[in-house]
Amino acid sequence: MSENNSAVETSSHAEPVKVSVRNHTGVIELDRPRALNSLNPEMLDIIRQALSQWREDENVQQVLVHSRSPKAFCAGGDVRAARDGVLEERWGQVDEFFEKEYKLNGDIAEYPKPYISVIDGVVMGGGLGISAHGSHRIVTDKAFASMPEMAIGYITDVGVAYMAQRMIGTRGKSDPALAKFWGLSGYRMYAADMLWAGLATHVIESPQAFIDDVIAEGGPDPRKVDTSGVSYAAWVSVADVSASKVSGARRLHQECRLRVL
């Protein structure tokens, strides 16, 4: 891809993921609104191919992932499609789907450039797999997250069981007990919970303003993947979360202690 400041489109209008390069920013836009951006094999292939192309591309200094739907970032993997595959005994296709999904999660966890997810609305299961492993997890006050896999007889997958035991938020320490509680209960975290637990790194007011600002900035030094090394004007300090929102995080902490410890 040649260096310029205009959008370089690499996907067609009909695809469920729109990919472009804008001002040194690799942009991934989830666009399957009727399914709340539930991930299917086509979406996994598009995202993984884009990340692979940008990994060594000096023109791309950061990756920005967001949804075109105001209702959801990503509601998870396409469980219905997987279930249909099992019922129809298409075991190989189902196994391939999960293999692709988990490899993508690993690629994101080891990505050498800032990976910025803008989470506005619901994020569950596989949606956390394509966001939580990145360097920057940006939430709005409309964001909420859960891992409901236990409710359908599955496991806490997409690497979240590993990450949840190690994430450090505003409370300043990791907590395996919190990870256990979250995985077993499917507790719904809201913005303050996500910041307190470490699932989110920053909170913003306007997702579109933030997206525009990130692209206008054109990308930080790719060697600085720590949140302290990057500062965008649209970001709001985690210390600015209102007391009413913080109460949700305190409730999460209390429930964690009561049910797990």
Q: Is 34 exposed, middle or buried (0-12, 13-18, 19+ CB in 10 A)?
A: exposed
* Cα–Cα dist 197/183, whole Å: 13
The catalytic position among 76, 77, 85, 134 is 77
Annotation marks residue 134 as catalytic: no
**Concatenated DSSP letters for 180-206?**
HHHHHH---EEHHHHHHHTS-SEE-S-
76 is catalytic: no
Quick one: how many helices (H) and strands (E) in the chain? Answer: 9, 11
Q: Choose the catalytic residue: 78, 101, 157, 217.
A: 157
Helix (H, G, I), strand (E, B) or coil at 153: coil
Place of tokens 């129809």: 88
Query: Exposure of 253 by Cβ count < 10 A (0-12 exposed, 13-18 middle, 19+ buried)?
Result: middle
Active-site position among 126, 129, 169, 219? 126
| Catalytic residue chosen out of the listed positions 29, 78, 149, 217 | 149
**149 catalytic per annotation:** yes
126 as an active site residue: the answer is yes
177: which residues sit within 8 A by CB, 6+ positions away? 256, 257, 260, 261
Residues classed as catalytic: 77, 126, 149, 157
